[in-house]
């Protein structure tokens, strides 16, 4: 019979095999070299600079393609509002932000602009110039001013993804580049990441035909990369993951489990229907409920304040540990 140690080693080997096969079979990242360069450049410009702290905010849902020449895919629920809003508060607090977002999801600084009637914001003058309508001037001015300040100040880098393959490849690149930041790096993982996927090599190349009757498809579990992120990719970074459930009875138990299993520093628990008003911050010292109120219309405002406080404490402790060897 296997010793418990032997079983654990076997589990680890099996996990390592699944990770290897996920990355080896993933289609290469389009323009991967350029993406890596941009991320590395952004981090090195901010390292030891004014911002000093860099956070990777992930946002939006990942897709699981069903065909290599993808016509159909499985999607994950997330509008990207949490990630976009949080990005603004991190920048405001002086963090440099890598905004790893789903293409087409909410974007920082323009999340309060309506998505369906953008053209209603503008009018053509008699001289054929274009100007912002008086009724929307305030929002547009604010959006442009804040966005420009973040980008021109070198505090915002936007990197898009669509599929689970792209997301995890880019996350790994970001983590590798963040490693030298040590405890000054942070991951704020608000993206809704697919739990299952179709391995590339077993995926149909062309559009699946409906004439063949019912669709019979086997999905493989996506290896949980959170533990790798913590243990190998960026072991000193401060890691916050999110846990979404629709059943409030299991939410906090699942958040506790994620905290222990993946070695997260913080898990933010939220329920689908109340996620914009209330979250619970779970750490190994306890649970704190964060809610909107009269002064804080967005739950992210208080949440980011609290997380920054915890990050500062983490940096202090890591520096003490380093001094004491
Ligand atoms: O993107 P959004 O604002 O519509 O929703 C945010 C969220 C619920 C996707 C996020 O807070 C979250 O919980 N992300 C992790 C989801 C998960 O458990 O996979």
pLDDT in tens, 20-60: 999 998 999 999 999 999 999 999 999 987 778 999 999 99
Indicate if ligand 1 lies below 6 Å from the C-beta of 190. yes
Q: What pLDDT was estimated at residue 1?
A: 42
pLDDT at 2 over 80: no
Domain for residue 121, yes or no? Answer: no
Give the C-alpha separation, 1 to 52, whole Å.
Answer: 52
Residue with more model confidence, 313 or 139: 313
Pairing of strands 54-59, 185-189: parallel
Number of the ligand 1 atom closest to the C-alpha atom of 270 = 13
Contacts of 304 (CB under 8 A, 6+ apart): 86, 89, 90, 93
Nearest CA to ligand 1 atom 16: 192
Q: How many domains does the chain have?
A: 2
| Mean pLDDT (whole number) for 300-320 | 97
pLDDT at 80 over 50: yes
Residues 50 and 69 in one domain: yes
Nearest CA to ligand 1 atom 10: 190
Indicate if ligand 1 lies below 6 Å from the C-beta of 21. no
| Mean pLDDT (whole number) for 281-310 | 97
Residues 202 and 252 in one domain: no
Q: What pLDDT was estimated at residue 325?
A: 76
Domain for residue 311, yes or no? Answer: yes
Residues 232 and 255 in one domain: no
- The reported pTM is 0.94
Residues 249 and 226 in one domain: no
Q: What pLDDT was estimated at residue 120?
A: 85
Residues 202 and 312 in one domain: no
Domain for residue 197, yes or no? Answer: yes
Number of the ligand 1 atom closest to the C-alpha atom of 105 = 1
Q: How far is the CA of 87 from the centre of ligand 1 (A)?
A: 14
Nearest CA to ligand 1 atom 14: 190
Q: Is 325 helix (H, G, I), strand (E, B) or coil?
A: coil
Contacts of 103 (CB under 8 A, 6+ apart): 160, 161, 162
Domain for residue 279, yes or no? Answer: yes
Q: How far is the CA of 269 from the centre of ligand 1 (A)?
A: 9
Closest CA to 311 of 203, 186, 205: 186
Residues 28 and 74 in one domain: yes
Number of the ligand 1 atom closest to the C-alpha atom of 245 = 18
Residues 232 and 250 in one domain: no
Residues 267 and 284 in one domain: yes
Residues 183 and 83 in one domain: yes
Indicate if ligand 1 lies below 6 Å from the C-beta of 193. yes
Q: How confident is residue 6, by pLDDT bands cut at 50, 70 and 90?
A: confident
Residues 201 and 248 in one domain: no
Indicate if ligand 1 lies below 6 Å from the C-beta of 270. yes
DSSP code string of 113-153: S-SS-GGGGEEE-TTS-EEE-GGGHHHHHHHHHHHHHHHHT
Residues 257 and 188 in one domain: no
Q: What is the pLDDT of residues 186-204, one digit of tens each?
A: 999 999 999 999 999 899 9
| Mean pLDDT (whole number) for 214-222 | 91
Domain for residue 138, yes or no? Answer: no
Q: What is the pLDDT of residues 112-166, one digit of tens each?
A: 776 667 788 889 999 999 999 998 898 889 999 999 999 999 999 999 999 999 9
Question: What is the CB neighbour count within 10 angstroms for residue 200?
Answer: 15
Q: What pLDDT was estimated at residue 118?
A: 78
Q: How far is the CA of 26 from the centre of ligand 1 (A)?
A: 24
Q: How far is the CA of 194 from the centre of ligand 1 (A)?
A: 12
Residues 27 and 88 in one domain: yes
Number of the ligand 1 atom closest to the C-alpha atom of 85 = 3
Indicate if ligand 1 lies below 6 Å from the C-beta of 224. no
Backbone angles phi, psi at 227, to 5 degrees: -70, -35
What is the span of the domain harbouring residue 170? 14-110+154-208+217-236
Q: How far is the CA of 119 from the centre of ligand 1 (A)?
A: 30
Q: What is the pLDDT of residues 241-291, one digit of tens each?
A: 999 999 999 999 999 999 999 999 999 999 999 999 999 999 999 999 999
Q: What pLDDT was estimated at residue 114?
A: 65
Q: What pLDDT was estimated at residue 8?
A: 81
Q: How far is the CA of 95 from the centre of ligand 1 (A)?
A: 21
């Amino acid at each position: 019979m296997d010793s418990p140690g032997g079983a654990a080693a076997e589990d680890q080997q099996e996990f390592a095999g699944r990770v290897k096969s996920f990355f080896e079979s993933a289609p290469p990242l389009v323009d991967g070299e350029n993406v890596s360069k941009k991320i590395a450049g952004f981090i090195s410009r901010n390292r030891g600079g004014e911002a000093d702290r860099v956070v990777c905010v992930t946002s939006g849902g990942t897709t699981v393609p069903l065909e290599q020449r993808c016509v159909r895919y499985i999607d994950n629920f997330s509008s990207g509002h949490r990630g976009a809003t949080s990005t603004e508060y991190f920048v405001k607090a002086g963090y440099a932000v890598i905004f790893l977002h789903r293409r087409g999801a909410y974007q920082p600084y323009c999340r309060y602009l309506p998505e369906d009637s953008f053209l209603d914001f503008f009018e053509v003058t008699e001289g054929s110039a274009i100007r912002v309508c008086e009724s929307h001037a305030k929002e547009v001015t604010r959006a442009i001013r804040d966005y420009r300040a973040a980008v021109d100040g070198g505090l915002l880098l936007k990197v898009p993804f669509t599929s689970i393959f792209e997301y995890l490849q880019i996350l790994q690149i970001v983590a590798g580049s963040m490693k030298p930041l040590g405890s000054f790096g942070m991951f704020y993982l608000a993206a809704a990441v697919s739990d299952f996927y179709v391995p590339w090599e077993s995926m149909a190349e062309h559009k699946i035909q409906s004439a063949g009757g019912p669709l019979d498809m086997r999905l493989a579990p996506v290896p949980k990369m959170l533990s790798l992120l913590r243990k190998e990719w960026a072991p000193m970074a401060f890691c916050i993951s999110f846990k979404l459930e629709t059943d409030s009875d299991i939410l906090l138990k699942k958040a506790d489990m994620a905290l222990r299993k993946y070695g997260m520093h913080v898990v933010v628990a939220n329920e689908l229907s109340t996620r914009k008003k209330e979250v619970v911050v779970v750490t190994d010292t306890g649970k704190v409920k964060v809610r909107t109120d009269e002064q804080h219309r967005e739950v992210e405002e208080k949440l980011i304040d609290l997380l920054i406080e915890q990050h500062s404490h983490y940096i202090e402790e890591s520096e003490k540990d380093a001094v004491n060897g």
